[in-house]
Structure 1
Amino acid sequence: MVLNSASGAVKNYNRTGLSILEISHRSSEFENVINECQSLVRELLEVPDDYSVLFLQGGASTQFSMVPMCLMQPHKRAVYLDTGYFSLKAIKEASLFGPVHIAASSKGSDYDLYTL
């Protein structure tokens, strides 16, 4: 049933004559999709009203730069845990936007508590 509904939306979303992939991200139809998704995320994950739900494009590597770009405050540092390959990618990207502090590392004492 879900697959049939999804495939129908790809062909003709909500009887607009357009695919969900074709409608404008500024249209009321797409705004309704985003609002419903936000509502479902809040309900399923019990997200409080004083938190925002963000839908961001890109994969994980894109998020490594988008998170600090959007959330790091001027003259403040970001704090990361170094747990391996992907956290190091995130740390490297964050360091482009400001100072980064590594609070702990899974690599042992050589890497503990250093600041980029």
Structure 2
Amino acid sequence: AVEISSRPAVEALRMQGESWWRTAIGYVARSMRRTLAADAGIRLTGALYLVATAAFLGVGVQPDAADWAVMVDRNRTGLFLQPWAVVVPALLIAALSMGTNLLFDAALQRHTPRKGATR
């Protein structure tokens, strides 16, 4: 944010008398949205894995809850008999994380103009 807030455009906005909020939200935050979306995706992935790990360990979630991590925990004893009962919920957790990150990326691509594109 320091690099963006020290650009000549921000100095011009200050010289024109624009408010701090308009400069911060209108220019600086809009310029940082790609970085913020990437950071949000990483944090969401970390939060999903943290909640799944806590549920797997039995912390915070009822043992009979309909949760993917609880499904993995309950079915791990029969891993060699029926591996899909463990693999499918684990893949669903990973797919939710990756899918959310891909949606963030697609939304940013849609709102970012291409270089050389004319309107």
* Bin for the TM-score computed over the shorter chain: under 0.3
Q: Which has the larger radius of gyration?
A: 2
State the TM-score, normalizing by the size of structure 1.
Answer: 0.24
Higher strand fraction (1 or 2): 1
State the TM-score, normalizing by the size of structure 2.
Answer: 0.24
Q: For CA contacts below 8 A with separation 6 or more, give which structure has more relative contact order.
A: 2
